[in-house]
Every structure is written in C-alpha cells, then in structure tokens.
C-alpha cells in the first residue's frame, strides 16, 4: 500500500523494458517494477503472459512522490513514449499482453486518465485505444526481467530501442529528468 507521501501508478505500454528504464529516470519516482496486471489467473509466469491468453498485460508499477512528480506528469510521459492508437501492439510486439492500458489506483487517477485520453484523441486525431481499468492485482516479473536496461546495456535492443527513448526523455522532459 502507498504511504501518505507516496502514490502508485500502473501503466502498460508494450514491452515493460522501455517504460521501466524511462520511468526510473524521472525525478520523484521511487521505484519501477516490471510485471503483469489485468489478467484472470494468480501469479502468472512470463511464459503464460507471453502467450497472450491469460488476459495480463506487461506493465510497470511505479511508486512515486506526488510532491515531486504529479500523476499528470507521469501520464504525459506515458502518452509520449508509446502509440495509444494501436490495438494490442507496440512496435514489433504483438498481442493483448502489449496493450496500452492505465490501471488506476483512485477515482482521481481515473478522471485524469479519462480526461487525458479524450485530449490525446483530439490531438492525434485517431482513436485512442488505451484501456483505463481499475487496478486489482500486480505480479512482479521474474528477476531476469527486472532492471533489464541496466543489466543488459550492451544488448542491441537496449542500444537501438531504449537508449534513444532515454535521450528523448532527457530533451523533451528535461525538468523531470533525473540525471
């Protein structure tokens, strides 16, 4: 549970490796844990989720300090770093486990997410397919998936996909970037 000076956000925006690396670089973020949410079995494994038949999405669960970074700012980053208009797909990742989803932790988060979704749809002039669902369960990913970018920095995926996004974060969200 959240402490009074902490809050939680849970986002699915494709594979969890990119959002984990991105949100870890945001001032006010305490922790980012990749995992699974939104499915209909308890304690799924990566292989179960990868098959896309259990209903879970790959997500990141973010613990943050609202006095330093607001939920609205986390939402801005969420919208910026993935395509919310593609159904069950982000880049080369395909399937419902890679869907765009916000699991809200409070009615306030729900209202903000819905408002942002409407605004985003007007801005990009395409249907925003991001799901906005009440948070229920979260299951952390297996250890080999945690801190993937830092543990696999030299892998081509990290260099070609994640590193450019971190550079964009530094430039587009410089006031939030944690050096």
Query: DSSP of 102-161, one letter per residue?
Result: EEESSHHHHHHHHHHHHHHHHHHTS----EEEE---EEEPPGGGTTHHHHSTTSHHIIII
Q: What is the pLDDT of residues 10-69, one digit of tens each?
A: 999 999 999 999 999 999 999 999 999 999 999 999 999 999 888 999 999 999 999 999
Report which of 3, 135, 152, 142 is spatially closest to residue 66, judged by C-alpha positions.
3
On whether the CB atoms of residues 73 and 14 are closer than 8 A, the answer is no
pLDDT at position 18 is 97
Q: Which two tokens stand for residue 172?
A: 């587009």
Q: How far is CA 115 from CA 38, 75, 96, 119, 132, in A?
A: 21, 11, 24, 6, 11
- For residues 46 and 4, the answer to whether their CB atoms sit within 8 Å is no
Class of domain 7-170: alpha beta
pTM assigned to the model: 0.95
Q: What is the β-pairing status of strands 7-13 and 57-64?
A: antiparallel
Instruction: Determine contact, residues 166/17, Cβ cutoff 8 Å.
Output: no
- Write the pLDDT tens digit of every residue in 109-138: 999 999 999 999 888 888 999 999 999 999
3-state secondary structure of 20: helix
For position 60, what pLDDT does the model report? 98
**pLDDT above 80 (res 4):** no
Active site residue ranges: 15
pLDDT digits (tens, 9 = 90+) for 142-159: 999 999 999 999 999 999
Residue (of 25, 80, 35) closest to 56 by Cα position: 35
Q: Are 132 and 117 in contact (CB under 8 A)?
A: yes
For the chain, the structural domain boundaries read: 7-170
pLDDT more than 90, % of the chain = 88
């Amino acid at each position: 549970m959240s402490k009074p000076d902490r809050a939680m956000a849970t986002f699915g925006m494709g594979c969890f490796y990119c959002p984990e690396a991105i949100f870890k670089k945001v001032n006010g973020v305490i922790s980012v844990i990749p995992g699974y949410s939104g499915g209909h079995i308890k304690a799924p494994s990566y292989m179960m989720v990868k098959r896309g038949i259990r209903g879970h999405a790959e997500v990141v669960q973010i613990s943050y300090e609202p006095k330093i970074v607001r939920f609205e700012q986390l939402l801005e980053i969420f919208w910026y770093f993935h395509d919310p208009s593609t159904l069950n797909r982000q880049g080369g990742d395909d399937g419902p486990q890679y869907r765009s989803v916000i699991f809200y932790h409070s009615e306030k988060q729900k209202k903000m997410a819905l408002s942002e979704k409407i605004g985003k749809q007007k801005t990009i002039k395409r249907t925003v397919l991001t799901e906005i669902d009440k948070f229920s369960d979260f299951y952390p990913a297996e250890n080999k998936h945690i801190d993937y970018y830092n543990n696999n920095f030299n892998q081509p995926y990290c260099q070609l996909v994640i590193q450019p996004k971190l550079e964009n974060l530094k430039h587009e969200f410089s006031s939030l970037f944690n050096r």
